[in-house]
Structure formats: structure tokens, C-alpha cells
């Protein structure tokens, strides 16, 4: 786990006390794309799967806004893409 991924995990754990959390570095899937290293190394593209009671009663847009705001420093530091999959406990997820 790289330093940016560690920061993402720590921030989400502290802010949302998730029941489930997976932060997946997908940078290797984007080799040669804008915003990433040409060889796909690095920490530029992440998928964030999180289940937290903090998301109960919120719309999908509200959840995404909360996560984007929380991770704004990481985005400013070079994270090019975040695929966000937030859910409240008991909601169906595809993962």
C-alpha cells in the first residue's frame, strides 16, 4: 500500500467508521492514460468501496460529495480518478 492509499484509508476510517472498506489502486489499468504514469505505476486511480452508517438516508450524490470533499487534498496531490461506491448498511452492493 502506497502513501496516498494509506491516507485515503485513514481519512475514511476516521470520518465514517465503516463496516466495510476497500480502497483499490487501479492505476495499473490506466497505463498511458492522462493523469497517470505511462507504465501504470503510481497512485492516480482508485476505486473506493465503503459501507457506513454515516450514509444512511443520503442520496448517492450527497455521499459522493462527502467523499470528494474528504479526499480533496489527495485529488489536489495527483489522484486523477476516484470510482466511488458508498453504501449504507443493509443496502445491496455489487461487490
Q: In CATH, what number is assigned to the domain containing residue 73?
A: 3.30.300.90
C-alpha cell at 12: 475514511
Asked whether residue 92 is domain-assigned, the answer is: no
Query: Which percentage of the chain shows pLDDT scores above 90?
Result: 75
CA dihedral 84, 89, 94, 95 (to 10 degrees): 80
Asked whether residue 23 is domain-assigned, the answer is: yes
25-39 residue pLDDT tens: 998 786 655 554 555
How many domains would you assign to the chain?
A: 1
pLDDT at residue number 34: 58
Q: Which domain holds residue 23?
A: 3-87
pLDDT at residue number 78: 86
Asked whether residue 94 is domain-assigned, the answer is: no
55-72 residue pLDDT tens: 999 999 999 999 999 999
The DSSP line for 5-60 is HHHHHHHHHHHH--SEEEEEE-GGGGTTSTTS-TTS-SS-EEEEEEE-GGGTT--H
Give the CB-side neighbour count of residue 84, counting CA atoms within 13 A: 19
C-alpha cell at 93: 452492493
- How much is the mean pLDDT over the chain? 90
Asked whether residue 55 is domain-assigned, the answer is: yes
pTM of the model: 0.86
Asked whether residue 62 is domain-assigned, the answer is: yes
Amino acid at each position: 500500500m502506497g502513501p496516498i492509499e494509506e491516507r485515503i484509508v485513514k481519512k475514511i476510517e476516521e470520518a465514517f467508521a465503516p463496516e466495510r472498506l476497500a480502497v483499490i489502486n487501479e492505476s495499473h489499468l490506466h497505463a498511458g492514460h492522462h493523469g497517470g504514469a505511462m507504465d501504470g505505476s503510481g497512485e492516480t486511480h482508485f476505486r473506493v468501496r465503503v459501507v457506513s452508517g454515516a450514509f444512511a438516508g443520503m442520496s448517492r450524490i450527497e455521499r459522493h460529495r462527502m467523499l470528494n470533499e474528504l479526499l480533496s487534498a489527495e485529488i489536489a496531490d495527483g489522484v486523477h480518478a476516484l470510482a466511488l461506491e458508498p453504501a449504507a448498511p443493509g443496502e445491496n452492493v455489487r461487490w
